[in-house]
Structures are given as C-alpha cells and as structure tokens.
Structure 1
C-alpha cells in the first residue's frame, strides 16, 4: 500500500472552514470544532496538517487536570514548566504569542490542535483556560472530537459561543473510495469493486484501508493493469474486511 495522503471531501471541508476562520469578523471567535465518529480520518488529517503548518498538536487525556494540560502544552513547545499554575499559564501564553508572531511574518496562521477533545469538553476549568488563551492572544484552537464534542460544549456557552467553525467528518463517499484506490492501492481496481468496498465498509476510512490491503494481497498474484483492472469477480470468495460491529470477517460472495 502506498504511503499517500488522500484529500477526501472531509479534508476539503476542513480546509474551507479554516479559510473562513482566518477571515473571521469577531477576533475572539478563534475556536474550531472538528467532530465525527472514530475511524473517519480526523486524527490522521489533523496531525498531518499540524506537522505541515508548524501548529502545536496535543492529545487530551481522560484524567487531564488544568496543570497537566499546561505541562503537555509547554512540552510540545520545548518549554520547561515552572511550579505555579499562574507562571505556567504565562509561559504558555508567551511561547504561543512568539510562535504566532513568527507565523504572521510568514503570512500563516498559528494554531493549537487538541485531539480527543471529548475528554475535556465538559471540564470547565480546562475549557476556560483555552478560552482565556484564545481571548487574550487571538490564538486559534482546533478541538478534535469523536462525535459528542458539539453537544458537550453546549453546557459551556461562553466557550461554545466562540466556536467560529464546526466541521463534521462524515463517512466517505463512493468518490472518496475511488480516490483512496487510485492514490494508495498498488493494484488497479474496477468500479464494481470500488462500489462494493464502499457498501461493505460503510465509508469508514479504517475499513477502506483494510479492504485495500486485502485487495492488494489477492491482486498481486494476478496480472492486473490500468486496462485490465481487478474486478469484483476477481475477489470472489476472498476476505475483504472485518465487520466493525461484530468483528466477523466479510468475504466477497462467490457469485457476484
């Protein structure tokens, strides 16, 4: 399987929302929420975006306290935390403002990505600290959740009102599955097999990649080309993917 990044419709929506955020009217509305079920590619997309754009990427922990949050944030910026919470807050603000100033000179937006943000979306102390950073420094925070982020934030209206952009990651379309096949599958694949993969995986990226791995495993034994792509009948009787709901293997029917 090729190591290529696939720009699906979800990724395009994220890029559009980011552009809109950069053009925001109210400066204090510096927050973005990216939400969706597990397995839709949010972590892969946001981690890659953070690396490419010199953003800070941290993963929230279930037991995060405000102090632990600041320690992780400072650690990502290579700053040794001081002892008191107030001093650590000041350290983090200063470090982020320095990053922000440097990025502004490059005409880029500095941001902090917090993955697994469901863990903290009901923690008023941590969320208020994020709001303080955002308000005081016009710092962009991108909160990435697993399907409940938007609902959880309604309990914190002062934070929710500062979410300038909501991005929902949905299941991949048949077009997205074709993009995956063309970009990362090392065996040419016909449309009927693409459509069957879309149907069976229900558009979840993890299962799509699992299906591609199994298609490659079977396809490399044959002689397939762009003019002679692998079809659904070529996979008849073979394992395609494991059902995420039951864990049971799904085989392509012998008669297709």
Structure 2
C-alpha cells in the first residue's frame, strides 16, 4: 500500500473549523473538540494533518501525570525538559506564543478523570498563548468536557467526524492502493466497512494481496465474489467459532 494523505470530507470539516475559530473574539476560546466513533480514522487524519501543517501533535496516555504531559509536549517541540514543572511549561508556552501553531491532543478521553488537573495544564498554556487546541476523542468525549464549566466555556467548536462517503473511499483507494479497483468493488468496500477508514485500509491490503497472488492488474468485483473484504472482531464472531468447533 502506498503512503499518502487523503483530503476526505472529514479533513474539510477540520479545516473549516480551524478557519472559523481563528476569527474568534475571545482568544482563550480556542478549543476545538473533534469527536467520532472508533475506527473512523481520527488519529491518522489528525496526525497527518499536524505533520503536513507543522502543528504540535501529541497522543494522550492513560498513565499521564502533569509532568509526563509537560515532558511529552516539550519533546515534540524539541525543548529542554529539565527543571520544575512550571519551568518546562514556560518553555512550551514561550515557543507556542512565538510560533502560534495549533496543538492537537489525540486520545483526549484520557485527559478527563476524577479531576480536571490535566485539562488545567492545557488551559494554562492556551490561555497564555492564545494558541488553538484540538482535542480528539470518542463520540461521548464532549459530555466529559461539559462536566467542567470553566473548560467547556472555552470550546469554540465541536467537529463531528462522519463515516467516509463513497467518494472518500474512492479517493483513499486512488491515493493508497497499488492496484486499480473498479467502481463496483469500491462501492462494496464502502458498504462492508461502514465508512470506517481502518476497515477500508484493511480491505485494500487484502485486495492487494489477492491481486499480487493472481497477477491481476485491475481488481473487479467479480474477482472477489464471496470473499470478506474486511472483518471486525467482536464477541459474536468468537461465540460463533466456538459453537462451530
């Protein structure tokens, strides 16, 4: 599979939110929540966007403490991590204040715990610098943020990432597949994947394997009749296999 970044409809939603929030009145209201179901491609989309745009991208961890969060932010910006928490935070804030590039925090559900201590660290940095921050989480993440009014009041926009359209799937295949795939099969990939990027990429990988094994230059729907293009593990599948065994 080829490397490549696909500008899907979800990417367009992110860019539109960025443009709108850049024009905000209160500079501290620069928080954008990005939410979507699992497998839809949130991490791949936002990380590649960050890399291409020069933004700061950090994936939150369940084990994060305040210091671990500050150290990882400093790492991403190539800054010295030595010293007290406030010194490391000051270096990150200073660099962001000068460069004014957005931050993207993926797996942001890990930030919300019994207290708002980790979001408070982020708030300190973005309030001081006026930097835009994208928090990327699961579909119920906005409800977690809403528990903390002083954090929620800084949310300028919520971006809902949607399942891929047929056009998105076609663009993804054009950018990433090493073999040509006909439109009928593209529609089948879209249907079986339910518009989830993870499953689309799995389907492309499977089709490429079959194509290379059979010497197909272009894969048509009839070539893979009866084959499952992409599978998603669940408990029902496991139960079925045990029953069959």
1:22-69 deviations in Å (ceiling 9; x for gaps): 122221211111111221111111111212222211111112111221
| Kept after mapping to 2: 8 A contact 1:214/1:239 | no
SS in 2 for 1:58: strand
Pairwise CA distance, 1:156: 0.9
Partner Cα separation in structure 2 for residue 224 and residue 54 of structure 1 = 37
| Kept after mapping to 2: 8 A contact 1:242/1:248 | no
Equivalent position to 1:117, from 98, 108, 115: 108
| Kept after mapping to 2: 8 A contact 1:35/1:148 | yes
Partner Cα separation in structure 2 for residue 51 and residue 135 of structure 1 = 24
Partner Cα separation in structure 1 for residue 150 and residue 234 of structure 2 = 37
Pairwise CA distance, 1:224: 4.2
Residues 242 and 65 of structure 1: CA distance in aligned 2, closer, same or farther (over 3 Å): same
1:168-209 deviations in Å (ceiling 9; x for gaps): 112112221122222222322222211211111111111111
1:83-134 deviations in Å (ceiling 9; x for gaps): 322323322222222332xxxxxxxxx1111111100034411111211222
| Kept after mapping to 2: 8 A contact 1:2/1:185 | yes
- The equivalent residue for 1:243 is 232
In structure 1, stretches of 5+ residues that fail to align are 101-109, 250-256
Pairwise CA distance, 1:222: 4.5
| Kept after mapping to 1: 8 A contact 2:32/2:156 | yes
| Kept after mapping to 2: 8 A contact 1:37/1:147 | yes
Equivalent position to 2:188, from 192, 196, 200: 196
Partner Cα separation in structure 2 for residue 79 and residue 243 of structure 1 = 41
Partner Cα separation in structure 2 for residue 246 and residue 222 of structure 1 = 36
Equivalent position to 1:187, from 179, 182, 190: 179
Equivalent position to 1:152, from 133, 144, 149: 144
- The equivalent residue for 1:71 is 71
- The equivalent residue for 2:54 is 54
- The equivalent residue for 1:140 is 132
TM-score, normalized by length of structure 2? 0.88
In structure 2, stretches of 5+ residues that fail to align are 239-245
Aligned length: 236
Partner Cα separation in structure 2 for residue 247 and residue 99 of structure 1 = 50
TM-score, normalized by length of structure 1? 0.84
Residues 113 and 202 of structure 1: CA distance in aligned 2, closer, same or farther (over 3 Å): same
